Amino acid sequence: MRLLTFQLASRAAQLRSGERYRVSWEYVAPAWAGAYQWLAGQWQQRCGSAMVTAPIWCWQRLASDSNAIDCAALLFSQYEKEQGILMLELEVPSALVLLSSYRFWNEFLGETIDSGAVSTEDGRWRRMFSRKALKKRTDNVQAIIPYIEPEWIVSMRPVVFFDDIPSQEQHVMYVGRGVKQQIFPHE
């Protein structure tokens, strides 16, 4: 399955090392840890093995009104963007991918942070995995995977944010298989 992920540029050497790339739980914000662990548990139920490290976030599809640059800009702090962000295009075995609605995930994450606990007894959050939710073109489809194998990396390049490009050089770029990154031309 073709996926897109954004990783800190400081991890480039690790990604290029030829070793399996994993993300430690220590990098997950404490307020988000319970929700991330719940999602890792959902991955385990559906994919059959334990996720021993934090999930790696990917994107299977961006909403019709979204683009990769804007997506990356929302995920990282200004400091992280200044240090550098990498965009990786991956080809991952489908058996290791758990897809979910980004909209429903954010609702779940918000409720978990607000309440301080993961509440899933009523099962309503399972809708984030439904075919109906994943077909909405107005929603991003996110994916989690347990690690990145070196042979899964199709491409790896730095993300150039709008603020980093002189206005006379701004243009529309295309990356990979139709992953559109819009950078509007100077008018």
Confirm whether 95 is domain-assigned: yes
Domain-embedded: residue 62: yes
Give me the phi and psi of 153, to 5 degrees please: -75, 110
Write out the residue range of the structural domain in which residue 84 sits.
2-161
Residue 63: predicted pLDDT: 77
DSSP 70-116: HHHHHHS-HHHHHH-EEEEEEE--GGG-EEEEHHHHHHHHHHHHHHS
Q: Is the pLDDT of residue 115 over 80?
A: no
The pLDDT value recorded for residue 122 is 66
Which residues are CB-neighbours of 63 under 8 A, at least 6 positions away? 137, 138, 139, 140
* 169 is a domain residue: no
179 assigned to some structural domain: no
In a domain, 110, yes or no: yes
Q: In whole angstroms, what is the distance from residue 41 CA to residue 129 CA?
A: 13
For the stretch 124-161, pLDDT in tens is 788 889 888 888 888 889 999 999 999 999 999 998 87
Does 21 fall in a domain?
yes
Percent pLDDT > 90 in the chain is 41
HSE-CB at 137 with a 13 A cutoff on CA atoms is: 2
Separation CA 48–CA 50 (nearest Å): 7
Mean per-residue pLDDT for 152-174? 65
Number of domains within the chain: 1
Q: Is the pLDDT of residue 8 over 50?
A: yes
Is a pLDDT exceeding 60 seen at residue 175? no
- Whether the per-residue pLDDT at 182 is higher than 50: the answer is no
